[in-house]
Amino acid sequence: MVEGKKIIEIKKEIQSILKKKNELFILNNITVDIVTDTLLNYFIVFEKENYFAEIIVGKDEYAPYKFVYFDMIGGNDKIPEILYIWFDNEETTIQDIIENINKALDYFITY
């Protein structure tokens, strides 16, 4: 259950980041949609203009990430393009996750 505790901690940290950035989301016309919010899974989609981003928190046996995944997709309707991607691994600390999710969201907000 150690993994479960870490997922819960990561989820709380990401929720804190989202609260701090809420005004920036509003000012930049970014829609935030919490798709899944369970104890061990958290999935958020961010949308603006021709871009969207997503954060996935949870444990997926077949995913390339350990607990956290972020990507930003953009472009026109015909050819979507991955503009930014980040995910954790076995050695990523909670502080690394906080820093990288902040960096990724700042990139999305200002893109």
Please give the domain boundaries of the chain with CATH numbers for all domains.
Answer: 2-110 (2.40.128)
Residue of 34, 55, 42 whose CA lies nearest to 12: 42
Q: What is the mean pLDDT of each run of 10 residues along the chain (111 residues)?
A: 91 98 98 97 96 94 90 84 95 97 98 92
pLDDT at 1: 61
pLDDT at 111: 92
pLDDT at 24: 98
The helix-helix angle for 2-27 and 94-110 (nearest 10°) equals 20
pLDDT at 40: 94
